Amino acid sequence: MTSEREFDLSRFSSPGEFRRAVPTACLPFCLATQKIMEKYDLTFAKACELLEEKGYLFWAGVTPIYNLAGDKLWLDKKE
């Protein structure tokens, strides 16, 4: 599955702010990005990019499709 994001995530500072703008963003996506931001000291946009690079995040328009297997990025010990 491939998808191209057609918008700039850097305008959002947090998953909560993103969810207010895009109500279809699921809670697991918001939780995972928040935890990844904290664990790796990343911005919201960089946390999303990490999830995309690892194949755990795809986009349907502006709606994030999050694979729950991506939870391992924040549940595992820091590399």
In a domain, 39, yes or no: yes
Point out the least confidently predicted range of 6-10, 12-16, 24-28, 66-70.
Answer: 6-10
Question: Is residue 3, in this structure, part of any structural domain at all?
Answer: no
Residue 1 in any domain: the answer is no
Contact indicator for 47, 40 with CB cutoff of 8 Å: yes
So what's the pLDDT on residue 5? 76
Quick check: 42 pLDDT over 90? yes
Residue 14 to residues 48, 77, 78, Cα–Cα distance (Å):
11, 23, 21
Q: Is residue 6 part of a domain?
A: no
Residue 78 lies in a domain: no
Domain that holds residue 46: 12-72
* Residue 3: pLDDT over 80: no
Q: Which two tokens stand for residue 70?
A: 């991506």
Mean pLDDT of the chain: 89
On whether residue 61 sits in a domain, the answer given is: yes
Domain count, the chain: 1
